[in-house]
Amino acid sequence: MLRPMQDLFRPAEHPDLLVGLGAPDDAAVYRLDEARALIVTTDFFTPIVDDPYQYGAIAAANALSDVYAMGGRPLLALNIAALPPDLPPTMITQIMIGMAEKVREAGAVIAGGHTIQDKEPKVGLAVVGMASPDRLLTKGGARPGDRLILTKPLGTGCITTAAKSDQAKPDDLVEAAAWMMRLNRDAAEIAIEVGVRAATDITGFGLLGHATELAEASGVTLYLDAARIPLLPGAEQYAAAWIFPGGSAANRRAYEGGVRVAGDLPEHRLMLLFDAQTSGGLLIALPPDQREVFAAQMAARQAPWWEVGQIGAREDVPLVVHA
């Protein structure tokens, strides 16, 4: 979508645009001076849960996540909303409160926004954050030997899709919503403190899609241990019934050519690794000498994390998945 603009905005003409239309990353980054850089991102989507408050909170957490994935601190946000004119005012209010309270939890402020009419609700945020230019988390900073850390379990795509056809257990949907509303703040702040240089958040392209982008940008191969990758309660059940959103199949078509599977991995388990996520966790390339410090600081904040693989020198494919 953005490729036609690349020739109009050449990197040499915008030296302070540290991350932009070049290699794909989670947000744009513009250097203000030697100590400060602005992070700018936007995201919005249609409802994936029925509860309007949760919908707003998930949409906000999802948009804020791109700032955290770049190693930044959210400063302010603008609401983006496309709403049907016949949507009950009480429902709109709950959506907006959900978004606002999640932004406040992040330590940022909603400073305005823009709303239009549409047949189907769509809400999200444009977010501005701040970071240090020399301490950014990008997809291009991973190195051989780094450990791969994931901070949320997978399965939101198949669970919310199951819910749309009344096939999801209520408790499974409640658990999935709780994870989607969870901010990635703790892991991002600790990653910066311990010297991490590479990370991305797991959203629409699924774990393997976003992992591929990190591997390509860094010129490495990621080795993932499928048995260690956490799954949400019920995710494997819905996956075994082949209940996936359309985006998961699109992810597989787009990225499976760069994935080598080592061992006997069931088809539904592999598909879960392509499952399109909403407000997923961070995938962090952690230097091995910082693992104990990272673990201690995450434990002090009671922040969840799983070591799911490691990084090696580039092979013939960007990703190797061990069953």
> Which CATH number characterizes residue 188's domain?
3.90.650.10
Q: Which amino acid is at 163?
A: A
236 pLDDT above the threshold of 60: yes
Say which range, 3-17, 94-108, 170-184, 226-240, has the weakest mean pLDDT: 3-17
2, pLDDT greater than 60: no
Could you tell me the CA-to-CA distances from 276 to 34, 157, 166, 248 in Å, in that order? 37, 5, 19, 5
Strand order of the β-sheet with 282-286 is: 198-201, 282-286, 147-150, 306-313, 220-225, 319-322, 259-262
**The two three-digit tokens of residue 181, written as one number:** 């509303």
Based on the fold, state whether residues 147 and 277 are members of the same structural domain: yes
Number of Cβ within 10 Å of residue 297's Cβ equals 18
Residue type, 126: A
pTM for this model (two decimals) = 0.95
Q: Using CA atoms, how far apart are residues 96 and 81, in angstroms rounded to an integer?
A: 9
Do 21 and 109 belong together in one domain? yes
Asked if 287 and 154 sit in the same domain, the reply is yes
Which residues is 41 bridged to in the sheet? 127
Q: In angstroms, rounded to a whole number, what is the distance separating the alpha carbons of residues 289 and 110?
A: 39
Same domain, 114 and 207: no
Q: What CA–CA distance (Å, rounded) separates 224 from 221?
A: 10
Packed helices 170-180 and 156-164: angle between N→C axes, nearest 10 degrees: 130
- Residues 51 and 94: their CA atoms lie apart, in Å, by 9
Q: What is the pLDDT of residue 25?
A: 82
The residue behind tokens 């290699």 is 23
Query: What does 15-28 look like in DSSP terms, one character per residue?
Result: TTEEESSSS--SSE
Strands (E), the chain: 17-19, 28-31, 37-45, 73-83, 109-117, 122-131, 147-150, 198-201, 220-225, 259-262, 282-286, 306-313, 319-322
Domain count, the chain: 2
Instruction: Classify the C-alpha dihedral 1-285-204-256 as positive or negative.
Output: positive
* Statement to judge: residues 57 and 113 lie in one domain: yes
Same-domain status, 11 and 125: yes
pLDDT of residue 6: 62
The tens digit of pLDDT for each residue in 188-208 reads: 999 999 999 999 999 999 999
Surface-to-core class of residue 179, CB atoms within 10 Å of its CB (0-12 exposed, 13-18 middle, 19+ buried) = buried
Do residues 177 and 190 both lie within one domain?
Answer: yes
Q: Is 112 found in the same domain as 143?
A: no
Query: Which residues form the domain of 31?
Result: 3-134
| pLDDT computed for residue 183 by the predictor | 98
Instruction: Name residues whose C-beta falls within 8 Å of residue 259's C-beta, 6 or more positions apart in sequence.
Output: 208, 212, 317, 318, 319, 320, 321
pLDDT, position 7: 64
Over range 116-140, report the average pLDDT: 96
Average pLDDT over residues 246-256: 97
Last residue of a domain, one of 108, 134, 160: 134
Do residues 299 and 155 share a domain? yes
pLDDT digits (tens, 9 = 90+) for 91-107: 999 999 999 999 999 99
Residues 130 and 84 in one domain: yes
Structure tokens at 297: 């600081």
Tokens of 300: 């002090």
Question: Is the predicted pLDDT of residue 295 greater than 80, yes or no?
Answer: yes
Task: State whether 127 and 144 are in the same domain.
Answer: no
Q: What is the CATH number of the domain that holds 117?
A: 3.30.1330.10
Question: Residue 5: which pLDDT band, with cuts at 50, 70 and 90?
Answer: low
pLDDT in tens, 40-62: 999 999 999 999 999 999 999 99
pLDDT in tens, 170-186: 999 999 999 999 999 99
Which of 104, 134, 164 corresponds to the end of one domain?
134
* pLDDT tops 80 at residue 249: yes
Assign residue 132 a region: left if phi > 0, alpha if psi is -120 to 50, beta otherwise?
beta
Shared domain check, 158 and 103: no
Domain boundary among 82, 105, 134: 134
Q: What is the dihedral of CA 317, 279, 47, 226, to 10 degrees?
A: 50
Structural contact between residues 23 and 140, judged by C-beta atoms closer than 8 angstroms: yes
